[in-house]
Amino acid sequence: MYDPEPLDDDTPESADPSWEPPEASPEAHRAARTEALVQLALGISLVAIPWLALKRVGIYEWVATHAPAWHVPSVVFAQGLTALAAIAITIRLRKSNLTSLGLHPLKHRAQAILRGLSIVGITYAFMIPVMLATTLLLQGPAQQAMVQRKAQSLGVFVRIPMLMVLPCAIMAGVYEEVLVRGFLQSRLARLFAGAKPLGLSHKSLAVLLGSLLFALAHLYQGAMGVMQTLLVGLILGTCATTWRSLWPAIIAHITIDTIGLLASRYLVPTAQRMIDRS
């Protein structure tokens, strides 16, 4: 299987985001595309089946009814553990490895943390103006409906026990990055290697498609939530591709989720008061 290893952080090539492995033969490209397609089909199936089964048997609804404070943690950990298990099974069966997900040995922890925090700064630098502009451009019922939908979707997060805020953020940050940026994005990049639809490189196309899927998974948050997660996904995907490592994206995702969960305890009641007054 064509499964190039990420370079060691100490090599000159790893400092150059434009570096590419030597050109492979057409046969190697076809084998890589086939393998990527097989891994995508297997991985997505192994993720989707337990998720649908858990929803089908009504586990989440039962927890929401009998222990509403634990509804979100139960969903996050059930989906997270099954997704991580599915990806682990997939790479095991296909004789791949963790480095193919961008999870190579973390030799420079301080660098990964600084890069992760820089992603957080970049994300908020883009997201806050975009959200403010969107809110200001919409007037009357449209503005009220968007804010209300966002407040309603975040209302469930307010009920999370304070003790579970960080564990939920860690689980969500790890499994969503491993699933979306580590697995889906890397396999999509191999699947589209050599193709340039809309003038995009295979890596840029993979970042875009992965971010769109990530955003659509947050449809329950309404238009504002989809825009936010699309923007976050594009930034995380670009950084993961540029640095050829998933660790900064994981650190950033955990930080963003932690800030969001804590902020929602203030923002949701404030938004609801604004809606009630209007």
Confidence of residue 193 (pLDDT cuts 50, 70, 90): confident
Residue 12: per-residue pLDDT: 35
Q: Indicate the average pLDDT of the chain.
A: 85
Average pLDDT over every residue of 96-104: 93
Average pLDDT over every residue of 122-129: 92
Residue 275: per-residue pLDDT: 56
Lowest-pLDDT range of 33-37, 87-91, 148-152, 210-214: 148-152
Looking at per-residue pLDDT, the higher value among 21 and 157 belongs to 157
- By C-alpha distance, which of 51, 49, 91, 76 is closest to 182? 91
DSSP string, 211-261: HHHHHHTTGGGHHHHHHHHHHHHHHHHHHHHHHT-SHHHHHHHHHHHHHHH
pLDDT digits (tens, 9 = 90+) for 248-275: 999 999 999 999 999 888 876 766 665 5
| Greatest Cα pair distance in the chain | 65
Give me the residue spans of the domains in the chain.
Answer: 12-277
Give the pTM. 0.86
Contact yes or no for 183/45 (Cβ under 8 A):
no
Residue 6: per-residue pLDDT: 41
Percent of the chain with pLDDT strictly greater than 70? 84
Contact yes or no for 249/174 (Cβ under 8 A):
no
CB half-sphere exposure, 75, CA atoms < 13 A: 16
Residue 5: per-residue pLDDT: 38
Residue 241: per-residue pLDDT: 95
Lowest-pLDDT range of 42-51, 82-91, 196-205, 226-235: 196-205
Distance CA 42, CA 40 (A): 6
Contact yes or no for 192/199 (Cβ under 8 A):
no
